[in-house]
Structure 1
Amino acid sequence: MTNRSFKPIAYREEKFSVPIEQQFETSCLPLAGIFELTKKDGEKIEIKEKRKLERLQILYKHTFRNSFLQPLGLLEWHLITTSKFLESTSIYKIERPKSRFTVNELVELILTKQKGEEDK
């Protein structure tokens, strides 16, 4: 893909809006899983399923404006809500190389992992 035909998002030079009207899903779909994506040195992509408390930590870390939870008295609510949510959701951590473009490999890895979950 080239970015010549896409509009920049706000004033950022390297992020663009990619129109997908014909591929947009309008119905509700079940959540297949959550994938935390991180960068690392090296060349190999690694994926690890997270268990127990690690999963709560990941969801807390990625909760939008989590610094507001305690002052608003919502820590207990957040813990209960995320715990219930995790009863039916798998969480994975994917570490990808900093040094190369990996989006196609990551998509294949996620789809393969999701397919394996459906087969269980």
Structure 2
Amino acid sequence: MKPAPFGHWMPDHGGHMQGHDGLRPVRATIWVRGRVQEVGFRWWTRARALEIGLTGYTANLGDGRVQVVAEGLHGECERLLAALRGPDTPGEVTGVTEIWSATGDGYDGFVIR
């Protein structure tokens, strides 16, 4: 983690956004490609996120991808990413892309949109 002046956020060496103390929540915006719609993928993702303790949402996109926005500690978001890339996801995941940022206004729970 790289500290940033005046409490701003900066990418670490892996390109991940981190607060200066590593204990601030982060937001991971994730896009999942493959056969991931109409297979229970959003429900499964929500269940994993709630088990981990994340807030946010998951939604189908018009191009067949699923978007996941998760907020929590960096390590917790990484756990969700590992699950999304793992062998137990419903359907067939062919790719996962994420970007990291500071949290926004926050979410109440983790919902399916």
Length-normalised TM-score, structure 2: 0.32
- For the pair shown, the structure with the greater C-alpha radius of gyration is 1
Greater per-residue strand proportion: 2
Q: Which has the higher helix share?
A: 1
**TM-score when normalising by structure 1:** 0.31
